């Protein structure tokens, strides 16, 4: 398993990658063709979904 984190804190971008290879992290295009596109749900989205049920 490999891990890549991008965190924006106080206007700065911090990146961490668990694998130290040039091919990692994959490009956005590689991600879209290889992995399912992630779904981001915010608390307000969950609340709206609960109201519909």
The Cα–Cα gap between 33 and 15 comes to 23
Q: Which pLDDT value is given to residue 10? A: 84
The Cα–Cα gap between 49 and 29 comes to 30
Q: Which pLDDT value is given to residue 7? A: 84
State the DSSP H helix or E strand holding residue 15, giving kind and residue range, or none if neither.
strand 12-17
* DSSP label of 52: H
pTM for the structure as a whole: 0.35
Q: Which residue has the higher pLDDT, 42 or 1?
A: 42
Q: Which pLDDT value is given to residue 1? A: 67
3-49 tens-digit pLDDT: 778 788 888 878 777 777 777 777 778 777 776 767 788 899 888 88
Q: Which pLDDT value is given to residue 16? A: 78
């Amino acid at each position: 398993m490999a891990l890549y984190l991008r965190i924006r804190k106080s206007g700065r971008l911090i990146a961490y990658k668990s694998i130290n290879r040039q091919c990692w992290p994959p490009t956005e295009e590689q991600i879209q063709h290889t992995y399912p596109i992630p779904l981001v749900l915010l608390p307000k989205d969950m609340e709206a979904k609960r109201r519909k049920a």
